Amino acid sequence: MVSAAREAGRRVPHDVSVVGYDDSYLAAHSDPPTTVQQPIEQMSTAIATAMWQRLQGYHTPHVDHRFAPRPVARDSTAAAPPHRD
């Protein structure tokens, strides 16, 4: 995405912001470095608990889990320009 923006003559992040997803340990060194981080520990705990309960024979109702991702701003994003009427 960043290379495509640059090939189109756009400056990252001055003209366009680019965001990746999953914030792996390499994200800070990738292109784009800005990313969205998932709460992996909370997600892992929820699935492990559900699996353990199922393996133990507990009848548990279906639960929709909602996890809040967190943006991690780095060098590939900038503040939005002021709104023009």
80 falls within a domain: no
* Residue of 71 and 80 predicted with greater confidence: 71
77 falls within a domain: no
Domain count, the chain: 1
79 falls within a domain: no
78 falls within a domain: no
- The residues near 28 (Cβ < 8 Å, ≥ 6 apart) are 74
Mean pLDDT for all residues in the chain: 84
Does the pTM exceed 0.95? no
> What local confidence, expressed as pLDDT, does residue 8 receive?
93
Over the range 41-73, which residues count as b (16 or more CB within 10 Å of their CB) and which as e?
eeeeeeeeeeeeeeeeeeeeeeeeeeeeeeebe
20 falls within a domain: yes
Q: What is the C-alpha separation between 62 and 33, in angstroms, rounded?
A: 36
Show the domain range for 15.
2-72
DSSP 24: -
**Above 80 in pLDDT, residue 32?**
no
83 falls within a domain: no
85 falls within a domain: no
**Above 80 in pLDDT, residue 70?**
yes
